[in-house]
Structure 1
């Protein structure tokens, strides 16, 4: 096929659940409810951390970054899924589809790196508490957050620079513009771009995940040897909750981006992508923040100030 014919693909058809029309209504409401909870929960976390001075600490600074990423991450996909949920032939322009895919990749990598930074913050707080304020100064926290955002942008730009530009097909078996699914439509051989994608996935997914696991193992060793039984149970419960969310996010993302790529996108792949796009962002505020007594106290103080004034 010639390059002239390759460029004829100007719009993408998203299959979604058109093969299963009986499930479209339930899927629409499920996505809508999860998206609303994600927006409310993460927006509440960001607002509380901004307005309550008692939450102006390194841990909550990173949590506010994570919540902001989750808002943007879900918003980059959910509206598109909802708008096209009932269409028999949902279409989107090729440029818009690619843009949405790269934005999602950027935000996903940012979340990966922020989760690793948050694990390091907890490691310093628990394993080196006397020097915590010195190590995790305001300047260092800003630098770590900036490192996460800038590194994610650079890795996304590297991926974009080597991706194929011409596409022969225009049908994606997905609800949204998952970049892995879009690139399967390419006309040319994609072995080099797949190699680059794998390298960036190792840097953005595997390396941070290993770092987080090692960090929590070291935290667990310190907790077991130094804390009381009550403190030990509390710390281990918190760590296990964090690791559960981390495992869902990294596990599903790695199963999508690190494994050998097939020629087509299956229904199983669509389900897997739902976890790191929708489930993790709605769980993060519940696991990391809203169960936290400091956040609950900040919420009560904020409500009281509104009532009194």
Structure 2
């Protein structure tokens, strides 16, 4: 097992391009890290330079890591390689609560078997569809009136509390810190009211996926979500980012929204989130 250096992370990003979209969450983290976005991760592989398994994990030596939820993301092309790494005590810290997110569900059985061997409690957190937009030219033309167009902008630090309070997984001090990191370091897009207050917004996670899409209830039904997704998707592609989003299985509204905007689902792929030691 090897912890990748800065230069090796750039090479790993290039290597993963041939495995898209199934490696997209790990790839997204590397996109951010290699573009000097702040993070509390370290990346390990089973071998170098020809790796079969790559894991993004919390860097416990980073003093800021305690400010955020402990999360792990991984990608593997080989089950045996993955099992060896999961059974290696130095690969993942299994002693506390953490999430493994964006796991290809074909590895779910293997993961559960490892947890039985390790006597680590595990439960499914959520299952999602992967929606990607390889070509922004597929976005439909939207009729945006001049008033709405003039109110499209980016979120700033004064908006953190509002986003945190409305986020499904927010409302806590940890959520506040996470959103603060996203707003201050990653692209965002919002529509404001006449007083300059956000009424609809979308952010980009630290693994470079679209997320936290939300419109205040009293402003729904005006097409704001379509405008925001279209606007930020074009901007992300222009900056060299992949354009994608994870949509929870039960979220039919968001699924129809993204599909209607030209995003396509990877039919043979499902990503799952598991939580441990809960």
Structure showing greater radius of gyration is: 1
TM-score when scaled to structure 1? Answer: 0.25
TM-score when scaled to structure 2? Answer: 0.26
Greater strand content: 2
